[in-house]
Amino acid sequence: MRRLHIFIIFLIILLVYIGIWFILPKEYLPLHVHDKTVPEPVNYREHRELFYLSKHWKFTDSQGNYRDFSKDYSGYHPLDNQRKEKLTKESIGDAKLLYLADAYGIYDYEEGLIDYEERLPFELIDIDLLFGGFDENEIKVINDFARNPENTIVGEHNVFGYPTYIYPESSQALQDLFGVKYEGWLVRYYEDLEEVAYWVKLLYTRIYGGELDLKGPGLVVVREDSSRAGWYGDLLIFQDEDFKQQYPMVITRDEDHQLTDKVVSKVPYLYWVEVLTVTNNNAKILADYEFPLKEEALEKLKIRGIEPLIPAFIYLEEPSKAKRIYFSGDFIDQLPALLPYWLTGSVNIQRTMSYLPGIPPQYHFYFR
């Protein structure tokens, strides 16, 4: 009987929290999302969780409707006759917030994306770019948007690199816009190095000779060769003996800033990060990416001009221009949320859940 009472109380509380969400007022958010990377199978992972947050906080379009992550964006649309949509003034419309989610693009996966990803660690597979990167016409649209001080632009890895650097002037213009410099270095933590792509193994053999025994957790640091699209010029791989802590961390700086006042100061981040330096004196680094490495391993990075802390979250505000925010990590590309958006406080609940044993560390970053 006691268990029944507990269950009934829990059910009542749950229904109250759901009911509160439905009666809270909606708010119009003039948002436009551009995502060129929506491959098969259709998962929309480069912007899906942004739309989850938008719905949870009850942000709507101008008609009062919640945005549908499968439709309400510009870029590549796999379910709409594989429509390839570049960023235009018309697609942005009346938006005041422009989110550049991803520009890596779409490729010709002959046997499909799932088969390609399963084969990737074991063989070198040539793929052709079908759609991706920002060209000079799109840069003009972005720069025009940036001239309005009422606007805000958010950019996220991958915007500057391949395939945007096929258009070098476009890549440079975007770096200037966000007040950063990108020289091609990329970082990724792997929970198991057996998952790395086969081209990493070939690159290691080319640079160091011999084969690399890829097992266990590790950190891959690789440099894109901007003179040869899709090629890589340098590689470092760090394994257990090089680590001083389990994961790389994103560390919030101690600054009084409204954009970072509700986050945990240090959280693990396990996916792709660009190595950036700040070039605009007005730019503020609100968070850093910390390599989880011992001093001897860090020296190998320093020789290549890479510091132990690199900018993760850059905020740029200048007179008579749009506010600009850049994420050097693929921060919105996350696992699906654990709870539905229509539950009051679900983000806070999931933040608490992220401390439970067995919750994947990807959730630690997203919710904290």
- Sequence ranges of the domains in the chain: 24-334
Determine contact, residues 78/36, Cβ cutoff 8 Å. Answer: no
Task: Give residue 33's pLDDT.
Answer: 98
Each residue's pLDDT tens digit, 298-311: 999 999 999 999 99
Identify the CA nearest to 235 among candidates 218, 224, 221: 221
| Res 35 pLDDT > 70 | yes
Q: Return d(Cα 24, Cα 344) in angstroms, integer.
A: 9
What does each C-alpha distance from 246 to 217, 293, 324, 358 come to in angstroms?
9, 9, 32, 16
Q: Which residue has the tokens 């379910």?
A: 79
3-state secondary structure 296-325: HHHHHHHHCCCCCEEEEEEEECCCCCCEEE
Residue 198's SS3 state is: helix
Backbone angles phi, psi at 361, to 5 degrees: -60, -20
Determine contact, residues 161/186, Cβ cutoff 8 Å. Answer: yes
Determine contact, residues 53/346, Cβ cutoff 8 Å. Answer: no
Amino acid at the residue 231: W
Amino acid at the residue 228: R
Q: Return d(Cα 231, Cα 203) in angstroms, integer.
A: 10
Each residue's pLDDT tens digit, 305-332: 999 999 999 999 999 999 999 999 999 9
- 82 torsion bin: left (phi>0), alpha (psi -120 to 50), beta (else): left
Q: How confident is the model at residue 271 (pLDDT cuts 50, 70, 90)?
A: very high
Tokens for 10, please give them.
Answer: 């829990």
Q: How confident is the model at residue 350 (pLDDT cuts 50, 70, 90)?
A: very high
Q: What mean pLDDT is predicted for residues 63-69?
A: 95
Q: Return d(Cα 330, Cα 288) in angstroms, integer.
A: 14
Task: Give residue 103's pLDDT.
Answer: 94
Q: What mean pLDDT is predicted for residues 149-155?
A: 98
Strands 323-327 and 129-131: what pairing? unpaired
Task: Give residue 13's pLDDT.
Answer: 77
